């Protein structure tokens, strides 16, 4: 009998613990609906073990589930619940290896400095487990992000606080007038499969090939650069203006994501703001090997290496600078961490919404809030932020009880656009030319650049773009909302995308699709007009705006982006349902180990599972010609249950003795059963769950007390990275009464 298979990923830390409690519930409630839930281990420990089938004894071997999923995502039946996992650092990797060794897995040590060829090979295997390795495998599609209806409705009834904004606010976005990436962009659509070369040509005509890349017909290849001289002039001007306005100075970039270019931009802000430091102490700076790209924190750290006299001289200069320059926007004013302390500290997609939430203000060095200039150098992104900031100054703060919702369809697949540009970002070693040349010697892109300018190329794959348009159309049809392509016809890359969008759109029935193409600033204006009017809109954007907008709007609407649905509708037709924007929450595990209280909120999993079930219904129908509306009934009931869960505030609480994850799962089950019992579409199911609901309701106190009884004592789960399943399950399912009800469903 054909069933739809949902893969539930076994991952790490808090969400992994929550899974022990939650997965049985999910299985129990979907048992009669032709849905099967498979657990697939892509935890760090699981991935490590999967690297060594040759070394491990047979009973300890594990299959390489990530590879399996990597194949699955290219099949139409893929339906994956992707919970947050660890993107391991090397220290984490080593800890995990040690834990596994102690559990009796005969793994080799991690050879940090491999001496032999064998060690090299071992290191290579281990290195496959380091860093962000899961997302690149699973994200074989574009991005569909939105707030589930229940979450949005809850926020409208229980609005979070957005600080009022004075119309006299001096806060504003300042971008470059010229010389930025926006201005210089060139873009081509590749006419036939070819290999392109990135070439630097010096003034004497000497050429250096910096990189070669294969590109396919229809791919969009861009090149552009940031003129560093103009960038610094811009910083100087903004700093002067901020001083004159007596407002805070803040820079908003994304060094974590644009990890090659943005640290350099960040460094230039330091070069200009702290110019006196470089004028006076260039020798010391050189001696310390410090570069402004490292941030001021690293300079402070390295100052320890200096003689007291030198150190004091530098510190005195810095103090002088703070007096002469505009006050700095602080990341943490209590700890004295400025906006320019660490390049990774100010992350534009989080920091601009934070300023908006805070009434268009930041925190100054005195710990007080104040207006601030938001430096966003490149006009590709700055203008849309400028639009929303000025909109707020003109029309006042948003009212979460009245605003509509803004969903996003993002061009993310196959390392689309800027976010795939790291290995194609170059700093010309001298004044000269940067060129992109194809196999036939055609110069596709050419720029005159100066030494040190930031030159960057992005590639956007044809298939990714087509799929993105399809997704946008599908979302428009599903939702009935207008879709707005945020593309600027006066920007070269966007122009090529517009061409492709206009090529793709007519392939669909657009009779019920209200679509627009608007430059980001205009798109923002249009979207905000609707937003304030309580109307809903889908932003269809490139990869960077995807990243920015999927924080911006959820934060304004519901106070956080962590409650968003994050779906990757796969190019091959399946779907990945990502949960937990906040990571795997090691602190929650620490608390659980200490006092058996877990405060992981599975809301993201609940919501994602609703969508996963909807996909399962579709898959059954299209792949197996089986129309099973029961799946939708179950999904719908879950959605209602989540509404009640929020309404009755059954999210886990912080402190021991309060409701925790396990108790919150009980309530989810209770409300889910109630919703199934009270629905009328599927009578058989209603009858079945009427009983379940009655049993759960009747035993509410008992179940909660059985859970509560475990609290306040340490928990033993037999491992951090690789817990003992039996122990962990016991710890996470402490209520015999609840287990009996769930298990009887599973066995029925």
Nearer to a copy of itself, 393 or 470 (CB): 393
> Does 600 count as an annotated binding residue?
yes
What are the counts of helices (DSSP H) followed by strands (DSSP E) for the chain?
A: 27, 24
Answer for which of 105, 182, 200, 672 binds a copy of itself (CB under 8 A) is 182
- We find the least distance from the C-beta atom of residue 331 to a copy of itself, in angstroms, to be 26
- We find the least distance from the C-beta atom of residue 37 to a copy of itself, in angstroms, to be 44
- We find the least distance from the C-beta atom of residue 190 to a copy of itself, in angstroms, to be 20
Query: Would you state the torsion angle of the CA atoms of residues 516, 519, 523, 526, taken in this order, to the nearest 10 degrees?
Result: -80
- We find the least distance from the C-beta atom of residue 531 to a copy of itself, in angstroms, to be 10
Q: What are phi and psi of 172, to 5 degrees?
A: -165, 160
Contact 378, 421 (CB under 8 A): no
Nearer to a copy of itself, 284 or 487 (CB): 487
Nearer to a copy of itself, 105 or 553 (CB): 553
Q: Starting from the edge strand earliest in sequence, which strands make up the sheet with 454-460, in order?
A: 186-189, 220-226, 454-460, 425-426
Work out whether 1 is an interface residue with a copy of itself (CB under 8 A).
no
Give the range of 15-23, 34-42, 179-187, 205-213 binding a copy of itself by CB under 8 A. Answer: 179-187
- We find the least distance from the C-beta atom of residue 247 to a copy of itself, in angstroms, to be 11
Answer for which of 278, 322, 427, 516 binds a copy of itself (CB under 8 A) is 516
Work out whether 183 is an interface residue with a copy of itself (CB under 8 A).
yes
Work out whether 513 is an interface residue with a copy of itself (CB under 8 A).
no
Nearest to 389, CA basis, from 145, 167, 543, 564? 167
- We find the least distance from the C-beta atom of residue 253 to a copy of itself, in angstroms, to be 19
Contact 707, 598 (CB under 8 A): no
> Does 601 count as an annotated binding residue?
yes
Answer for which of 394, 509, 512, 748 binds a copy of itself (CB under 8 A) is 394
Work out whether 335 is an interface residue with a copy of itself (CB under 8 A).
no
| DSSP assigned state of 450 | -
Length of the chain: 748
Work out whether 489 is an interface residue with a copy of itself (CB under 8 A).
yes
Nearer to a copy of itself, 133 or 517 (CB): 517
User: How many other CB atoms sit within 10 Å of the CB of residue 723?
Assistant: 25
In angstroms, what CA-CA distances link 565 with 421, 490, 579? 27, 32, 7
Distance CA 570, CA 607 (A): 18
> What burial class does residue 602 get, using C-beta atoms within 10 Å of its C-beta: 0-12 exposed, 13-18 middle, 19+ buried?
buried
Nearer to a copy of itself, 91 or 167 (CB): 167
Distance CA 5, CA 318 (A): 60
Q: Which residues contact 636 (CB under 8 A, 6 or more apart)?
A: 610, 675, 679
Work out whether 245 is an interface residue with a copy of itself (CB under 8 A).
yes
Work out whether 178 is an interface residue with a copy of itself (CB under 8 A).
yes
Extract the tokens encoding 440.
């036939």
Work out whether 391 is an interface residue with a copy of itself (CB under 8 A).
yes
Answer for which of 38, 153, 300, 390 binds a copy of itself (CB under 8 A) is 390
Work out whether 395 is an interface residue with a copy of itself (CB under 8 A).
yes
- Chain positions 519 to 558 lying near a copy of itself, rule: CB under 8 A, are 521-522, 525-526, 528-530
Q: For the stretch 271-305, what's the b/e string if a residue is b when 16 or more beta carbons lie within 10 angstroms of its beta carbon?
A: bbbbbebeeebeebbeebebbbbbbbbbbbebbee
- Chain positions 700 to 719 lying near a copy of itself, rule: CB under 8 A, are none
Nearest to 181, CA basis, from 502, 542, 563, 515? 542
Nearest to 18, CA basis, from 729, 667, 737? 729
Q: Which residues contact 115 (CB under 8 A, 6 or more apart)?
A: none
Contact 231, 268 (CB under 8 A): yes
- We find the least distance from the C-beta atom of residue 329 to a copy of itself, in angstroms, to be 18
Give the range of 39-47, 237-245, 288-296, 621-629 binding a copy of itself by CB under 8 A. Answer: 237-245
Nearer to a copy of itself, 427 or 526 (CB): 526
Work out whether 655 is an interface residue with a copy of itself (CB under 8 A).
no
- We find the least distance from the C-beta atom of residue 495 to a copy of itself, in angstroms, to be 8
Work out whether 506 is an interface residue with a copy of itself (CB under 8 A).
no
Distance CA 298, CA 315 (A): 14
Nearer to a copy of itself, 536 or 611 (CB): 536
- Chain positions 556 to 595 lying near a copy of itself, rule: CB under 8 A, are none
- Chain positions 85 to 124 lying near a copy of itself, rule: CB under 8 A, are none
| Residue spans of beta strands (DSSP E) within 274-353 | 330-332, 337-338
Site string for a copy of itself, 156-175 (x = CB under 8 A): -----------xx---x-x-
- We find the least distance from the C-beta atom of residue 500 to a copy of itself, in angstroms, to be 13
DSSP 550-613: HHHHHHHHHS-STTEEEEEEBTTS-EEEE--TT---HHHHHHHHHHS-----THHHHHHHHHHH
Q: What are phi and psi of 282, to 5 degrees?
A: -60, -35
Annotated binding site: 82-87, 132-139, 145, 349, 546-547, 551, 583-584, 588, 599-601, 654
Annotated binding site for substrate: 132-139
Contact footprint for a copy of itself (CB under 8 A): 167-168, 172, 174, 177-179, 182-183, 237, 241, 244-245, 390-391, 393-395, 489-490, 516, 521-522, 525-526, 528-530
């Amino acid at each position: 009998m054909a069933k739809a298979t949902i893969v539930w990923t076994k991952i790490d830390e808090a969400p992994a613990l929550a899974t022990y409690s939650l997965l049985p519930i999910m299985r129990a409630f979907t048992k009669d609906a032709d849905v099967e839930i498979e657990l697939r281990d892509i935890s760090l420990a699981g991935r490590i073990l999967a690297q060594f089938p040759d070394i491990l004894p047979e009973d300890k071997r594990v299959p390489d589930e990530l590879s399996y999923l990597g194949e699955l995502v290219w099949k139409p039946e893929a339906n994956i619940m992707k919970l947050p996992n660890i993107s391991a650092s090397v220290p984490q990797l080593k800890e995990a290896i040690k834990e596994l060794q102690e559990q009796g897995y005969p793994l080799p040590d991690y050879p940090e400095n491999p001496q032999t060829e064998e060690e090299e090979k071992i290191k290579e295997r281990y290195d496959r487990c380091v860093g962000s390795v899961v997302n690149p495998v699973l994200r074989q599609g574009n991005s569909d992000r939105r707030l589930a209806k229940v979450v949005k409705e809850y926020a409208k009834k229980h609005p979070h606080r957005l600080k009022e904004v004075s119309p006299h606010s001096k806060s504003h976005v300042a971008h470059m007038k010229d010389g930025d990436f926006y201005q210089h962009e060139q873009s081509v659509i590749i006419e036939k499969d070819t290999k392109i070369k990135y070439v630097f040509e010096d003034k004497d005509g000497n050429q250096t090939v910096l990189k070669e890349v294969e590109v396919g017909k229809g791919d969009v290849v861009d090149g552009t650069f940031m003129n560093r001289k103009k960038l610094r002039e811009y910083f100087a001007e903004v700093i002067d203006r901020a001083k004159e306005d007596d407002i805070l100075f803040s820079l908003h970039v994304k060094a974590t994501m644009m990890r090659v270019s943005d640290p350099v931009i960040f460094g230039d802000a330091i070069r200009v703001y702290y110019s006196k430091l470089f004028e006076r102490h260039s020798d010391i700076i050189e001696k310390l090997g410090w570069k402004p790209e490292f941030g001021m924190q690293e300079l402070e750290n390295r100052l320890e290496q200096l003689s007291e006299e030198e150190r004091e001289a530098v510190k005195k200069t810095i103090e002088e600078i703070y007096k002469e320059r505009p006050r700095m926007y602080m990341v943490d004013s209590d700890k004295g961490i400025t906006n320019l302390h660490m390049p990774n500290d100010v992350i534009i997609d989080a920091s601009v919404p934070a300023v908006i939430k805070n009434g268009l203000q930041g925190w100054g060095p005195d710990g007080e809030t104040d207006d601030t200039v938001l430096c966003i150098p490149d006009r590709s992104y700055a203008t849309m932020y400028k639009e929303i900031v000025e909109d707020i100054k003109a029309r006042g703060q948003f009212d979460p009880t009245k605003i509509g919702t803004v969903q996003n369809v993002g061009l993310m697949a196959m390392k689309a656009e800027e976010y795939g540009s790291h290995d194609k970002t170059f700093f010309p070693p001298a004044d000269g030319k940067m060129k992109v040349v194809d196999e036939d010697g055609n110069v596709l892109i050419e720029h005159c650049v100066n030494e040190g300018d930031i030159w960057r190329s992005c590639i956007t794959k044809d298939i990714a773009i087509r799929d993105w348009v399809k997704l946008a159309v599908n979302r428009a049809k599903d939702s009935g909302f207008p879709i707005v392509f945020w593309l600027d016809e006066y920007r070269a890359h966007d122009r090529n995308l517009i061409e492709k969008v206009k090529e793709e759109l007519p392939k669909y029935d657009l009779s019920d699709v209200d679509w627009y193409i608007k430059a980001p600033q205009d798109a923002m204006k249009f979207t905000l007009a609707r937003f304030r009017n309580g109307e809903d809109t889908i932003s269809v954007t490139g990869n960077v705006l995807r990243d920015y907008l999927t924080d911006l709007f959820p934060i304004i609407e519901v106070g956080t982006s962590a409650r968003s649905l994050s779906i990757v509708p796969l190019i091959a037709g399946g779907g990945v349902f990502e949960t937990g924007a906040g990571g795997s929450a090691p602190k929650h595990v620490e608390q659980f180990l200490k006092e058996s209280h877990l405060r992981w909120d599975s809301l993201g999993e609940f919501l994602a599972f609703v969508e996963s079930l909807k996909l399962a219904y579709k898959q059954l129908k299209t792949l197996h010609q089986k129309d099973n509306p029961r799946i939708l009934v179950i999904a719908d009931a879950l959605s209602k249950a989540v509404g009640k869960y929020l309404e009755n505030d059954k999210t886990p609480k912080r402190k021991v003795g309060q409701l925790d994850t396990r108790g919150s799962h009980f309530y989810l089950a209770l409300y889910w059963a109630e919703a199934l019992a009270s629905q009328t579409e599927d009578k058989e199911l209603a009858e079945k769950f009427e009983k379940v609901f009655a049993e759960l309701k009747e035993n509410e106190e008992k179940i909660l007390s059985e859970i509560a009884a475990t609290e306040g004592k340490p928990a033993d789960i037999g491992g951090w990275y690789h817990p003992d399943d039996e122990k962990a399950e016991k710890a996470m399912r402490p209520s015999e009464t609840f287990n009996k009800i769930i298990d009887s469903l599973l066995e029925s």
